[in-house]
Amino acid sequence: MMVFEGPSLFLLEISLVEEHSKLAWRKFILKVTSYTVVYPPGMEVSIATGGHSPGVILGERDVCIGTIYGVTLISILRHPSTPTVAAHLDVYTQMKDGTFKRSHICRLELTGRFAVNIVDSLIVVHHQASKTSLLFDIALGGEVSSGVTSVFPITVPKSVKPFLLTELGAVPTSARPISVPCQLYAPTWVVFQPDIVIDARLGCMWHLRLCLENLVKAVEDKSQLVDCLLRRQQAKPLVLSVVRQVVKSRQLVSLGQIFDKINASYRNHLNNIIQSQMGESVNSPNLLSNAPESQGVVIEQAEMYSVVLAPLMEEAEQEENKTLQSDGESSCQRVPLKVVVGVVVEYTRSLGAVGVSVQHFLYELVINALVRTRQFYQLHQLLQYHVLADSKPLACLLLSLVGVYSAGQQLSLDMLCRLNTAHDEIIEVLLSQHQVTPALRYARSVGLAESVSARKFLEAATLCGDHQVFFSTFTFFILRNTRLRGSAAFAKGEHCDVYVEHYRNIFGEVPDYNLQQT
């Protein structure tokens, strides 16, 4: 796995909101910070650091109150009593009864002075000494001990992107604007929730923003990366891009987990739609998963097909053609067609695992690729073990491939029989193959012998060229006419005169079975 490092890989950036006088900002900060942070009612906090005692009032810099995934949380910085012990951040989650309970511990693995922001439901901890920031996503989970989850940063510590402040006349001999670099993580920095950073010395206020594109390059574990991106509302193109990268780099071990996470989010989205249509409230036992903000990215099957699977299949087919034309010299930069087929099958497996019906265009993609590569045995196995679910469009597709895959006809008929809702289609298939007698037997077995079209069967019997088959079919419908209407003659609306004449030319006059019975 490739780890992307470098000075240009910044996960956070600041954008200037307002520029004011230094004195005004100092007065503003003193006014805002001249309050005391106390514990809310019902919050159970144990303070065990040196110099503190139960009931102590925490300072403003130690406490951060914010909303993460729609849930109110309070984070408290815990500074060690000795320099050799790393600091950590305790996160208290508001429960349904309004009380706060410690649910997570963010492991900082650093000591010194810290400040906390909340950006897009991520906890950002700034460390002044190293001039870096750590990103925590508590929804990713971690090591659980006594009901408290230990969370580690999703990337190595990274610095905020440098910011240049434009000052007019910064140099006395120049009247043109000069870009002056701002000192990051300065001692004069003061942070406010959720994403405000103020530098009282410069007289500037910034918004802190997350650079998702760089986050994709910085996170080595792609499964964890997708899990994080799915909770970011603007990250859909990045999630699809990550899937393409994983396939192209042949990191197929984690692909199943990635598909499972994507489709679990898709399944939750469908459940919410169904519940909202039924007028039910959307509830979840996990407080961090039932908030509107936590819905994040939803990738539907059509999007996965059009952006990832179909383009990969097309590229693989083009590469295969080039390989055949170049006497077997293959390129290592393309994904083989067999690998892409496996990716599509894995995606359909994941959809079925979460209870989502697979749309027919995905099956069509797999079947066409298997036929193209002449992997008929694999196709037969997928159909036999119902990896490809039964459907009328899939059966019709198999019928269309009879010219190159002769077993497709029987497989399609078996599929239509299992569906038990495609009797007319089965009869049509049998007649198209001139299997008139089996079609009649099937019609009788499903109770359609009294209602099927006589003209359709007689036409097929005539085209097959077998006089015995035509005689049997004609006799069947003559007996049906006698039984239903008391006469061997066909009704005018059935338009069977041409077949009566055909019978007379071969076998003579049509017998009157009604007279024979009497």
The answer to the question of residue 414 being in a domain is no
pLDDT tens, N- to C-terminus, the chain (518 residues): 233 344 456 888 888 776 665 555 555 555 555 444 455 555 555 544 444 444 445 566 778 888 898 888 888 888 776 666 788 889 998 888 878 888 999 998 888 888 899 998 999 999 988 899 999 999 988 888 888 999 999 988 889 988 887 765 444 555 566 777 888 888 888 888 888 888 878 888 888 898 888 888 888 889 999 999 999 888 999 999 999 999 988 888 889 999 999 999 999 988 888 888 876 655 544 545 444 344 688 999 999 999 999 999 888 888 777 765 665 444 455 678 888 888 998 999 899 889 898 888 998 888 888 888 788 888 888 888 888 888 888 888 888 887 788 888 888 888 888 888 878 888 888 888 888 898 899 888 888 888 888 889 999 889 888 889 999 998 899 888 888 888 888 888 888 889 988 888 888 888 776 655 54
Q: Is residue 164 located within the same domain as residue 269?
A: no
Same-domain status, 279 and 255: yes
Sign of the dihedral defined by the CA atoms of residues 439, 441, 442, 443, in that order = positive
> What's the N-to-C CA distance of the chain in angstroms?
89
Query: Residue 302 has what pLDDT?
Result: 93
Residue whose pair of structure tokens reads 């925590």 in the numeric block: 136
Domain stop point among 311, 334, 358: 358
Q: Model pTM? A: 0.75
pLDDT at residue 177, as a whole number: 67
Q: How far apart are CA 386 and CA 375, in angstroms?
A: 17
For residue 157, cis peptide bond before it (omega within 30 degrees of 0): no
Structural domain total, the chain: 3
Q: Are residues 24 and 173 in the same domain?
A: yes
Residue 58: inside a domain, yes or no? yes
Model pLDDT, residue 225: 92
Report the alpha-carbon distance of residue 394 to residue 454 in Å, rounded: 29
Query: Do residues 30 and 164 both lie within one domain?
Result: yes
- Amino acid type, 242: V
Cβ atoms of 177 and 168 within 8 Å: the answer is yes
Contacts of 258 (CB under 8 A, 6+ apart): 222, 223, 226, 242, 243, 246
Domain that holds residue 470: 432-517
| 191 and 241 inside one domain | no
Q: Is residue 343 part of a domain?
A: yes
Q: What is the pLDDT of residue 55?
A: 44
491 assigned to some structural domain: yes
**Residue at 473: amino acid letter:** T
The domain boundary residue, chosen from 165, 194, 212: 212
Q: What count of other Cβ atoms lies within 10 Å of the Cβ of residue 453?
A: 13
Neighbour order of strands in the sheet with 189-192: 12-19, 204-210, 196-199, 189-192
Of 407, 415, 411, 413, which Cα lies nearest the Cα of 438?
413
Q: What is the pLDDT of residues 418-466, one digit of tens each?
A: 888 878 888 888 888 888 898 899 888 888 888 888 889 999 889 888 8
367 part of a folded domain: no
Q: Last residue of a domain, which of 160, 191, 212?
A: 212
Same domain, 197 and 302: no
Classify residue 399: in a domain, yes or no: no
- Is there a single domain that holds both residue 246 and residue 207? no
Residue 374 lies in a domain: no
Same domain, 98 and 228: no
pLDDT at position 370: 85
Q: Element (H or E) spanning 30, and its range?
A: helix 22-32
Is 396 a domain residue?
A: no
203 in the same domain as 127: yes
Predicted pLDDT of residue 347: 93
- 225 in the same domain as 205: no
Could you tell me if 87 and 132 lie in one domain?
yes
Is residue 233 domain-shared with residue 208, that is, in the same domain?
no
